[in-house]
Structure formats: C-alpha cells, structure tokens
Amino acid sequence: MNLLIAVLAALLGITAVYYSFPIFLISVFPLLFVYVWWKTGQKRTLIYGGIVFVLFSIRMDSAERNNVSAFNEPPERVEAVILTTAAVDGDQVQWQMRERHHQEKIFVSLYMAEEKELLQIQSLTPGSICRVEGQWKKPAAAGNFSAFDYKNYLHKQQIHWTVEVSGMDHLLCRSPEQDSFLSAVSQWRYFGIKHIQKHFPEELQGISSALIFGDRNDLAPGVEKAYQQLGLIHLLAVSGLHVGIISGILYYTGLRLGVTREQMSFILVGFLPLYAMLAGGAPSVWRAVLITMLVLLYQRFSKQTLPPVTALGAAALAMLWIDPYYSWYIGFQLSFFISLSLLLSFPILRRLHSLPLQLFGVSAVAQTASLPIILFHFYEFSLLSYILNIGFVPFVSLLLLPFCFLLFFLSLLLPQAAEAAMKPAEFIILLLHNNLQALAESRILQVVTGQPDTLQLLLLSVSLLFVFAMAEKKHRMGIVLAAGSLAVVFGWLFAAPYFDSKGAVTVIDVGQGDSILIELPYRKGVYLIDGGGALAFPKEEWQKRKKEYDPGEQTVVPFLKSKGIRTIDKLIVTHGDIDHYGGLYAVLKQIEVKQMLYGRSDEEKDSERQFLETAYRQGIPIVFAEKEMAWKEGDQYFQVLAPLDNKASGNEASIVLYAVMGGRSWLFAGDLEEEGEKHVMQAFPGLKADILKAGHHGSRTSTSASWINQLQPKAALLSSGRCNRFGHPHGEVLDNLEAGEVDIYRTDEKGAVEIAFTHQDIVSIRQASEEILNDQCGS
C-alpha cells in the first residue's frame, strides 16, 4: 500500500511539474492527503509521500531543463551514430541516431531514389557512424483537436529535430570503430529481425518479429489495427509472460546442467536486462524484467518472497526515475495498470474454479479496468474483446509464442526442418488474421464513446473501483449501486452531445484537401462535407508503403470518434476529386452514413465511379445535389446553391452549400472557381455570407474580388496543406480578403479551425495549434 502511494506521489510530482501546477492537480492534493491519512492513519506515510513527490518533481524539472536541443540553427552536416534498426517502408527508411558532438538524438528519414539503395541500407547496422546531410526540421505540433502531437511525442523521447535525407549520397557511413556492448546487442536484434525477414514466410514474419523481438514494423497495418480494435494488441507486446517463459526455460536448463539455484538466479539477473534490450525495450518488457529481477534478488538476500505489489511498485518507481516521460506512454500506463488490477482482483479471481472461467475472469478484469485508459486514447472499445481474449490469451501465450521461439532457433540450426513446420503454421496464421480483420471491419459490438473529459474519466474510474470492490465483497446491493453509477457515467458519455446547446463547425486539418464537420446544437444533425484524401502519384511496386498516408483513416475518423460520432446524417461530397472524397473510404467503413449528397459532374472519372459504387454497395442512399435543394433543422437552414445545372464539370461542379447557423450565414464553396462564382452571384443576387469557406483551398482561380465584394464575409476559412506544391492559398486571394477586412483562418498555418455557436450567435473561434506550423517549408 505504501509503495502504491509512493507511485501515486511520483506521478503527481512529474505531471505537476510538466503542466506547471494546474488547478486540477492542486485540487487533487488535499483529497489525496485526506485519503492517505484516512487509509493509513500514519504521519510517516504522509511524510514519505511528500518526500517522493518532491524528489520526482525535482527529477522531472531537471529532465525538462535538459530536454532542449543543442542546435539553435540547423547544421549543414553532422556525424551521428545509428541507434535503431532501420524501419523500411516502401521508399522511406527511418532511424533514430545520436549526433556525436552534442550527444543529441535525432530522427533521420531517407527517401530512396532507387531500389538498389536498399541493399546498402540493409548493410547499415546499429552502431555505424554516418555523416548526415539533409534538411533539418522541427517536428510539427498537432494540426487537429485531440489529435496525435508529433512534436510532443518526440519531445518526450528527447528528440527535437527530424532530418530528411534525400538519398544515400548524403548519408556516408562506416562501420563502428569499436563495438560497444550496447550497440552489439542492438546488432543482434537487427540480425535476428533480418533473419526472420529472410527465412520466414510473409504471414509469419510480422507476428514472429513482434513476439520475439518486439518489432511490429513487419506486421501488416490492417492486421495490427484489427488486434488493436479488438482489444488483443496486448498479446503482441513482449511482457510478463515472455519473461516468465524465458526465465523458466533458462532456469531449469541451468539446473539440469548442474548449476546451483543461487548461481542461476544471478545468471538470470544478469541476462534479463540483455533480453529486455533484445526484445526492443518497450515499457512492458522493462516492467516484466525489472519485477523478475527484483523478486529473484529479494529472494536471494532475504530468503523471503517479495510481495508482487511491492515488486510492481518498485519497478514503476525505478522506471519513472530513469525516464519520467514514461508517464505519458500508453504502453507504460496499460502495462502497469493492468498488472495492478489483476493483483487487486486476486480475491475475486481465486473464487473462480474452472480454467475457462478463470481465463474469462482475467480477461474481463484486464479489459474492464483498462477502460478509462483505452477510452481516453482510442475513444472506443470492443465488447467482443471479452470473448476473444478467452481463446486468444492461451493460444498466443501457450502455443504461438513458444512455437515462434522454437521456429526461430530451429531455422538457425536445422533450416529444412523449420521450413517444413512453417507451411502449416503460415496457413493457420493467415486464416486467423483474415478472420480477425473481417471481424474488426464488421465492427460488431464496437462501442464508440467519444473522448471522456477529466470529470467523466474520474467518475468512470471511481465507479469501476466500486464495482470491483463490491464484487469482491459479494455485496449485492453494493454491486447494483456501483453498476448503476457506471451505467450513469456511460449514459452521460453517450448522451452529453444531445444536451449540448452548442454546435460547431470544424474545418479539419487534412493537409491538402477539404473536410468540414458540422455538428448542430443538441446533436440534431451531423454533417460531414468531404473527407480529405491524399493525391496518389504513380509509384513502382517497391516504392509503395505498407501504409500510405490516408487523412481519412489517420485524421477524420479518429476526430469523429473523439467526438463520439457514430452516425453521419448527411455526407456531403462536393465533387469527385480525390482530395475531397479519398478519405471517405475510411469513414464509410467505420461510421454509419444515413445519406450521401453528391456533386455530380458532367463527366465521371473512373476512380470517382469506384467511390460511388463503394457507397452504393453499402446501401447508402446517394442523392445528386441540385440547385434549390434545401432543408431545415430547428433554427438552422441549409440550401444548395450550386451546381446550377448538370453541365458543369470538374471543380465547377462542386456543391456550394449555404447555411444559417447560430444566427449567421455561412457559405461552403467546395472547389468552386471564378466562373462558378459568377453564375452563383447571377442566380442569387442578394447573397451574403458572414463566414466563407473559400473555394479551392485558396487558389487564385477562386475567391475573386467581386465574390468577396458581393458576400461581404467577416471571416474566411482556408483549408490547404502545409507547404503544398500548388502554392495554396495564393497571395492574391489573401490580399483580396485582407482588403475586404476579412479575418483569415488557415489550416496550413495553425491547423484545424473550430467555430462554436449557439442558436443565437457564434461563441468561440479557435485553432488546434497556437504556433505557426508551416514556417519550415524550405525552397
């Protein structure tokens, strides 16, 4: 118990310093103080807790102070040591390196010009010393609300620069002068992964690399996503079970060979950190390794068994001391919290007598207890995972994991025998993964809650705590009450948007493209105008990435889920350009669409037709937009102004949507160009718009001076990619807007724009990033 309080104090100290003592944290202190006093009644505990808090505050403070770049200006070239195995994806390769002079970590990515460069790259082992010439960039902050913040993510790994190298000519490497022990270990890991790539069949590569070396680069993205969505991803993380199995095998082999138990303990304590590094050094590996080491050492010196909670707490403290930034790693949070939950649930689990029941119990406890963490990061969870884990946990840990290890060693010693064993295994894994992916795509029993806020998270955690506590005591009334409060919290999560008097229009930052979400007050309607999409350039087979950039999958869908959006009432596809509908494939797959409004063009492109067919096959009613089409929703009014006829083509065929929301007039102009603007002005001579989504990403062919004159907008929204090659938005357009005294909000500058409104007026306008994101475009 005291150690748990110490870990809590440490986490508080770390976060308090990082967020410079926010009000929320400060209000937690007295609560915690009272709790500890009530629980233990020991002044001692409070004093120790206070000391731990101060120590970890100081530790975090010094970590933050030292976590700054030595480079104020990008250097022309540096000498750096390769730290990690090369992550090759299509024509892109990435490494972490350490600059030799300042000992600063940098993130290097290289685009291969030719396939044969891959051979050179594969010869670069960790520890090699390279002269790096490239374009230094500061990583960008998040361009969307509640989205992944790359800058923050790298900051927590003490990385402040990414370096883009244009080819192998600019990366001159030589073998390490002398092998340090550490680089030797990462080389072994490198060769191990290479060995799997060379000798294992494709379907087995990913899972074997993940299970043996903790490397998921070779896992197909769809497969990894399926594991994650179905709540099975923890099985792919190297963790306690691996360490247990490996320690067990080594220990008993040692004993058989005549080594004494004591000596074997020491050998294991020496070997385990090595294994942690070989297995990729994820937080879950270190947790397991540290705990095993602690238990072994304690047993050796005190002849008593170390209580597991103590070992867990001590491991957490050690890891947080070494790297306080672990506090923010999902892997760290899940790994420690689930372990703790299982230990706390021991009295409940002990009551379950049959093996299947126990398996279910363990998986149910792990899934349920981790809900607050899962919902905070992923906005959804799978009820299916409760059932799947019963089968998958024993399958992966008892069969697949030992089998992969066996196969790996067999392929080193007796390649022929290994090859024979691989065929049936590949078949089984392929079958399994196909089914998993199909199951994940079906989204059966997938519950999207949206991102809980701090209060909801707190109430959710407290309700869960009481559910477990009452289940432990078999207190019937208590279980009913606790489950009731849990239901209330979930009800709140689900129903909150329906009671929110605020609506919002969000221009999502999808890079070069358009995607605008309209949420009406009280969630009377959810409309999505376009879904972004990456322009595809012809690529050769070897250049293709496993996971091409898809703003739909990576940005739009997570954003919708974070808002708890399960259904889109109207999906408005302004026209058939890929940067408007490309991302919608992902949306169609994961979110229910009631109706699609489509801006039909005179001539339909093949790819456009393919998209329409996909939607059609899903049974989504497709309506081709026509002028004068209009609908009302409470105070809100919507009208299609264009296309005026079906003769327009390309950008001019865009749907132009006029809306009245929050007492203001809005105009969403799609990719409409000057010609189309003229036609609209002719058709609607009195047209005004307070807020204008400027046409065609701010291209000079749109948003003419006369258009601005006519509409007299107060604010203009411009959606374009950072440093895009088209030069959007064009200076002329910006000048025109400024001349008209229009406030300009650009996604390329500060990311997504959110305009919140009530039925009376606009209440706030904010952007995702406070800093300018596109100041490093280069020439």
Partner 1 sequence: MGSKRRCLYCMEPRQEQLSWHGLISRADDPVCPDCRALFTMLMSRDCRICGREKDEQSAPFFQDTRCGDCVAWGEKDIGRALDHNISLYRYDKAMQQWMARWKYRGDPALTAVFQKEWVQIWRRSYASWKVMALPAGPGRTQERGFNQAVLLADMLPGDRLNGLEKKDEPKKQSKSTKNQRESLFYQPFYMNNQEKIRFNGEKILLVDDIYTTGTTVRKAASVLRSAGAERVASFTLARSTGTLSRKEEKAQ
Q: What angle do CA 721, 725, 730 make, to 5 degrees?
A: 75
Smaller CB separation from partner 1, 266 or 321: 321
Is 86 or 296 the residue whose CB approaches partner 1 more closely? 296
Q: How far is the CB of 324 from partner 1 (least distance, A)?
A: 22
Minimum gap (Å) between residue 307 Cβ and partner 1: 5
Comparing CB distances to partner 1, the nearer of 1 and 487 is 1
Q: Min. distance of Cβ 479 from partner 1 in angstroms?
A: 12
Longest CA pairwise span in the chain (Å): 96
Closest CB to partner 1 among 63 and 343? 343
Which residue lies nearer to partner 1 by CB, 343 or 430? 343
Q: Which two structure tokens, joined as six digits, stand for 351?
A: 């009551």
Nearer residue to partner 1 within complex by CB, 212 or 467:
467
Return the H-helix or E-strand segment holding 256: helix 240-256
Specify the residue, 347 or 402, whose C-beta has the smaller distance to partner 1: 347
**Smaller CB separation from partner 1, 393 or 471:** 471
- Cis check for the bond before 729: say yes or no (omega within 30 of 0): yes
Question: In angstroms, what is the minimal distance from the CB of 311 to partner 1?
Answer: 12
The closest of 132, 73, 71, 143 to 97, measured between CA atoms, is: 132
Query: What number of other Cβ atoms are within 10 A of residue 548's Cβ?
Result: 13
Considering the complex, state which of residue 474 and residue 545 has its C-beta at the smaller distance from partner 1.
474
Radius of gyration of the chain (CA): 29
**Distance in Å, CB of 456 to partner 1, minimum:** 20
Amino acid (one-letter) located at 64 = E
Tell me, what amino acid is at 501? S
Minimal distance, residue 273 CB to partner 1, in Å = 24
- Cβ proximity to partner 1, 5 vs 653, nearer residue: 5
How far apart, in whole angstroms, are the C-alpha atoms of residue 746 and residue 549? 21
Contact residues toward partner 1 (CB under 8 A) are: 1-4, 38-39, 41-42, 44-45, 307, 309-310, 343-348, 465-466, 468-473
The DSSP annotation for 357-375 comes to HHHHHHHHHHHHHTHHHHH
Q: Which is nearer to partner 1, 27 or 302 (CB)?
A: 302
Query: By C-beta, is 118 or 309 nearer to partner 1?
Result: 309
Tell me if residue 762 falls in helix, strand or coil.
strand
Minimum CB–partner distance for residue 6 and partner 1 (Å): 9
Q: Are 232 and 433 in contact (CB under 8 A)?
A: no
Strand duo 622-624 + 596-598: pairing = parallel
Q: How far is the CB of 310 from partner 1 (least distance, A)?
A: 7
- Listing DSSP states for 671-709 in one string gives T--HHHHHHHHHH-TT---SEEE-GGGG-TTSS-HHHHH
Burial class (CB in 10 A: 0-12, 13-18, 19+), 204: buried
Eight-state DSSP code of residue 771: S
Q: How far is the CB of 370 from partner 1 (least distance, A)?
A: 14
How far apart (Å, rounded) are the C-alpha atoms in residues 689 and 647? 26
Tokens representing residue 142 in the block? 């998040």
Min separation Cβ 336 and partner 1, Å: 14
Q: Where do we find the tokens 């100290």?
A: 13
Packed helices 202-213 and 401-413: angle between N→C axes, nearest 10 degrees: 110
C-alpha angle 371-377-380 in degrees, rounded to nearest 5:
60
Distance of closest approach, residue 44 Cβ to partner 1, in angstroms: 8
Altogether, the residues listed in the chain come to a count of 779
Tell me the C-alpha distance between 300 and 682, whole Å. Answer: 89
Do residues 657 and 639 make contact, with C-beta atoms less than 8 angstroms apart?
yes
Nearest approach in angstroms of CB 3 to partner 1 is 7
Are the C-beta atoms of 529 and 570 separated by less than 8 Å?
Answer: no
Pick between residue 31 and residue 413 the one whose CB is nearest to partner 1.
Answer: 31
Shortest Å distance, C-beta 361 to partner 1: 13
Which is nearest to 136 in space by CA: 90, 64, 70? 70
Q: Do 512 and 728 form a contact (C-beta atoms < 8 A)?
A: yes
CB of 233 to partner 1, least distance (A): 25
Please report, as a single letter, which amino acid is at residue 136: W
Q: Which residue number, 3 or 268, has a Cβ lying nearer to partner 1?
A: 3
Distances (CA, A) of 676 to 19, 199, 681, 696, 700: 50, 59, 9, 12, 14
